[in-house]
Structure 1
Amino acid sequence: MAEIVRRNKPLSVSPLKTSQPLGASLAILGLDRAIPLLHGAQGCAAFAKVFFVRHFREPIPLQTTALDQISSIMGADDSLLEGLSTVCEKHRPAAVGLLTTGLTETQGTDIHRVLKIFRERHPEFRAIRIVPVNTPDFSGGLESGFAAAVQAMIDHWTPSVAASGVRPGRRPRQINVLCGPSLTPGDLEALKELIESFDLHPLLLPDLSDSLDGHLAIDEFSPLTTGGTPVAAFAALGDAAATLVIGASLYPAAERLAQRTGTPLHRFDHLWGLEANDRLIMTLAGIAGCPVPARLERQRAQLQDAMLDTHFLLGQARLAIAADADLLHAACTLGVEIGAEIVAAVTSCRATVLERIPVAQVHIGDLEDVEQLAQRNEAELLLGNSHMADVAQRLALPLLRMGFPLYDQIGAYRRTWIGYRGSRQTLFDLANGLLGAHQQPVMPYHSLYSPKPDHRPEEHGHETATASMDRHGWH
C-alpha cells in the first residue's frame, strides 16, 4: 500500500491540476448533439475552451452564462435562466450539461432549484435533456468532475428496474462500458474493436471516440457535438448483459448504475500491461461464452516479446511520473511490471486508487514537486502532460507525453495506450526515450604521440608539430 504524502506548501507552482468544470465538460462532449453550459464568468469557460481546442485541435462547443460583477453579487438566477433559454432556443440540443464553477459555487447558486423554475417557465423545451452538476473549481480535479457528470447522467436519465420494463440480459450481446477520462479517443476505438471481436456490442458512456476523434463532417459547422453516445441509449442500459467500468474514478457511478438496473458489474482500474488486459480478455470470453480469438492471442505474444526486448533498457530504469490518479496508477503499474523503478509519483488530488499504486510514496502536489523529486532521486525518464516540457528541458531528461493537455504534438490525443498493442507501443516509446538520451557523441581520442593527420612532423620539424598540438588542445 502506497503512502500518501500531502502537499506541505500554501500554493501551487506550475499546477498539475485541471479543474472539475473542465472534466465535467469533457464528459458532456462525449454525448451526441450535446453542449456544456458553464454557469460562471466568461473567463471560466474561456479557460476550458482553450485547453480543449489546443488538445483536440477541433472546434469545441461550449457556452457560458457570462456573469458580470453585478449579477455575481446581487444574484445569478436570471442570468442562468436567460442562458438556458438562449441555448435551447438557438441550438435545439439533445442534451445540455449545466455545470457550476468556483464563482457560482462560492456565491451559493442552487442550480437544481433554478432548473426547476426553468422547466416551469419553458414547457416548450421539455424534450431537451438538461443535467445539472455541481463542479466547483476549488475542489477535486478533472477526474472527479468527469465522474460527477457521468453519475448525474445515470441518476437523471437511466430508469430503474422498478420504474421501467428493463431487464438485465434482455439484450445478451450488449455490453455497457463506463469510460474514464484517462482513455483517449484512440483507446476507445481500440476498446470497441476488442469487444466486437467477441461478437459483443459495446455501448460506451461517454463515447469520445465518436465525437472528438478528429474527423471532417459532411455537414457544415455544428454548434453541438457531432457523434457520441445518444441520450436515448441511457434508457437501454438496464437491458445489457454486463457493465464494464474502466477507471477507479468511475466506480461510484458504476455502482449507482448497477443499483438502478441490476446489471453485473466488472471493474478495471486500467488496461495497461499484460495482467490487466488478460483480466479483460478472460472477462469478455466469459460473457460471450466463446474462446479467445487467435488475433488477440497473437497480440499477447507480441507484447510478451516486446517486454523481453525492452527489459534490458527499462529494467531498473528510474521513472518520474505525474498524472491524475487513474492514469498515474496505470503508468506506475506498467513500469513496475517491466521492472522499472518509480522514483517520483505525483498527482493533483486525493483519490482512493492512490493507495493501490505499487510504489512506496505518492505525492499530492504540482510540477515543482515532480521536478524536485526527479532531480533528487536521479530520474532518467519523465512521464506527464505537455506542461512538463519545461521541467524536462531544465533537467535535460526525455519526456513521454501522456494525459491532459497535450498541445505540443500533433495527434497525441489520438494515441492508443491500452490493450496488448497499446501497451507494446508504450514500452517501445519508453525504451526509445532512454536510448535516445544515452546516445551521446563520443569524441575521438588523439594520442599525444600521434600528430594530426594533416601535419607532417618530418616537413615542419618537431617544434612546429608540438606547437600545433598545443594550439588545438591535444597536448
Structure 2
Amino acid sequence: MAIVVESEKACTVNPLKMSQPLGATYAAMGLDACMPVMHGSQGCTSFALVLLVRHFREAIPLQTTAMNEVTTILGGYENVETALLNIRKRTAPKIIVLCTTGLTETNGEDMDGHLAMVRKRKRELDDTELIVVSTPDYVGAFEDGYRHAVTAIVKTLVKPLPTVRRQINVLPGSHLSPGDIDELREIVCAFGLEPIVVPDVSGSLDGHLDAVWRGTTLGGTTLDQIRAAGASAFTVGVGEQTRDAAQTLEAIAGVPFEIFQRLTGLESNDRLLQCLAQLSGRAVPIRYRRQRSQLLDAMLDSHFYTGGIKVALGAEPDLLLAIGALLREMGAELSVCVSTTASASHALLPASEVMLGDLEDMERGASNCDLLITHSHGRQMAARLGKPHMRVGFPVFDRVGNAHRCQIGYRGTMNLIFEIANLMVEKIPHHHPGDWALPQSSVDFSVAVPRGE
C-alpha cells in the first residue's frame, strides 16, 4: 500500500496533469452525434482542442460559450443560450455535453438553473439532450473530469427497464485507448454477450475515414444505447474512476456491477474471463486459453530484462496502477511514482510512496532510474537525464498510432511487456560472438586420427 504525499512546491513547474474539462470532453467524444461545449473563455477550449488533435490526429468537434470580461462578471446565461441555439441550428447534435471551467465555477453560476431556463424559453431544443458537468479546472485532473462526465451521462439519460439477460454494460476508464476498447468488446462478445460501452471512443476516435461528414462526433455510443443501459443484467467497470457511474446505474436501474481496477496483467484478466464465463454460462474460449499461455511465455522471456530495474512512473491514478502493478509483477522496482489526483487506486499500488505532483518532482527522483514512463511532456526530462522514455497516457503527440495501441487483455499485456523489455534490451550492452570464445591455450579439441582411417 503506497503512502500518498503532496508536493510542497508553491507552483507547478512542468505539468503532469491535464484539466477536468478536458477529461469531460474526452468522455463526450465517445457519444455518437454529440457536441461537447466548454462554458468558459475561448482560450480554455483552444488549449483542449490542440491537445486532442495532436494526440489522435483527427478532427475534433468542440465548441465554447466564449465568455469575456463583462459576461464573467455579470453572468453567462446569454452566452449559454446563444451557444446552444447556434450549435443546434448548425450541426443538429442529439446530445450536448456542457462542461464548466474554472472561470464560471469561480463566478458561481447556477448551471442547472441556466439549462432549466433555456429549456423553458427555447422549445426548439426539445429534441436535444442537454447534459451539464461540473468540472472546475483549478482542482482535480483529467481522470476526475472523465469520471464526473460519465456519471452525469448515466444520471441524465438512463432509466430503469426490463432486464435483457445477455446484455451487459461496459464502463471503460479514460486510460483505455480506442484499441483497448475494441479488444475488450471482442472479449465480451466471444462469450455470446452483448456489450453497451459507455462512452465508446473506439467508434469515434479510431482513426477511420468516412465519406459522411457532420459537425458532431461521428461514431460512439448512440443515444438509444445509453438509454438501453438500464436494461442490462450486469455492469463491468474498468478502473476505479468508473465506480461512481456504476453505482449510479445500480441506484437508478438496479444493475449489479463489478469494478476491475486494471486489465493489464495475468490475474486481473483471469478474473474478467471468469466473470464473463459465469454471466454467460459458457466456458472460456480456446483462443484466450492460448493467449494466456503466450502471455506466460512472454513474461518468462522478458523478465530477464525487467527484473531488478528501477522505474520512474508518472500518470493518472488508474493508469499508474495498471502499468506499475504489471512492472512489479515483472520484477521491477517502482522507485518514483508521481500522479495527478487523489484516488482509491493509490492504495493498491505496490510502491512505498505516490506523490501528487508534476514532472519536475518526477525528474528530481529519477536520476538513478533505468526507465522513465510518462506522456510526451516528459521527453525533455528524458533527454536531460539520458534515460529511455516510454510514452503512455495523454497526451502523446510525438508518436503515431495512439488510437490503435492495445495494452489490455492477455494480448495487450504481452505487447506492453515486449515494449518495455525491448527498451531495456537497447540499453543493456550486447554480447558479441567473440565474447564467448575461450582462450586458445585453455583446451585442445584436436584429435589425432591414425593415418589410413
State the TM bucket, normalised to the shorter chain.
Answer: over 0.9
Unaligned runs of 5+ in 2: 435-453
Shift of 1:440: 7.3
Question: Which shifted more, 16-25 or 103-112?
Answer: 103-112
Query: Kindly, what percent of the aligned residue pairs are identical?
Result: 41
**SS in structure 1 opposite 2:203?**
helix
Aligned twin of 1:42: 42
Aligned twin of 1:23: 23
Of residues 397, 408, 426, the one that matches 2:416 is 426
The AA in structure 2 aligned to 1:399 is: H
Question: Which shifted more, 47-56 or 349-358?
Answer: 349-358
| Cα-to-partner distance string for 1:332-361 (whole Å, 9 max, x where unaligned) | 110111111111110011112211111111
| TM-score normalised per structure 2 | 0.94
Structure 1 consecutive aligned stretches of length 4 or more whose deviation exceeds 3 Å = 439-442
Report whether the alignment pairs 1:406 with 2:411. Answer: no
**SS in structure 1 opposite 2:117?**
helix
The AA in structure 2 aligned to 1:405 is: P
Aligned twin of 2:442: none
Q: Residue 238 of structure 1 contacts residue 261 of structure 1 at CA under 8 Å; is this kept in 2?
A: yes
Aligned twin of 2:206: 213
In 2, distance between residues paired with 1:113 and 1:263? Answer: 30
Q: Residue 207 of structure 2 contacts residue 403 of structure 2 at CA under 8 Å; is this kept in 1?
A: no
**SS in structure 2 opposite 1:138?**
coil
Aligned twin of 2:126: 126
In 2, distance between residues paired with 1:124 and 1:72? Answer: 27
Aligned twin of 1:270: 262
Aligned twin of 2:136: 136
Count of residues in Structure 1 that have an aligned counterpart in Structure 2: 434
| TM-score normalised per structure 1 | 0.90
Q: Residue 406 of structure 1 contacts residue 413 of structure 1 at CA under 8 Å; is this kept in 2?
A: no
Q: How does 1:165-184 map to 2 (within 5 A)?
A: 166-167=161-162, 170-184=163-177
Q: Residue 173 of structure 1 contacts residue 200 of structure 1 at CA under 8 Å; is this kept in 2?
A: yes
Report whether the alignment pairs 1:386 with 2:376. Answer: yes
Shift of 1:419: 0.4
Shift of 1:231: 1.2
| Cα-to-partner distance string for 1:306-337 (whole Å, 9 max, x where unaligned) | 01001111111111110000000111110111
In 2, distance between residues paired with 1:94 and 1:175? Answer: 24
Aligned twin of 1:319: 311
**SS in structure 2 opposite 1:81?**
helix
**SS in structure 2 opposite 1:119?**
helix
Shift of 1:68: 1.5
In 1, distance between residues paired with 2:202 and 2:400? Answer: 17
Unaligned runs of 5+ in 1: 445-475
Q: How does 1:2-151 map to 2 (within 5 A)?
A: 2-151=2-151
| Cα-to-partner distance string for 1:421-446 (whole Å, 9 max, x where unaligned) | 1110111111110111223799x9xx
Question: Which shifted more, 73-82 or 366-375?
Answer: 73-82
Of residues 167, 172, 188, the one that matches 1:195 is 188
In 2, distance between residues paired with 1:203 and 1:253? Answer: 14
Q: How does 1:215-254 map to 2 (within 5 A)?
A: 215-219=208-212, 221-254=213-246
Aligned twin of 1:395: 385
Shift of 1:236: 1.4
In 2, distance between residues paired with 1:419 and 1:319? Answer: 23
Report whether the alignment pairs 1:363 with 2:351. Answer: no
Please tell me whether Structure 1 or Structure 2 has the larger radius of gyration of its CA atoms: 1
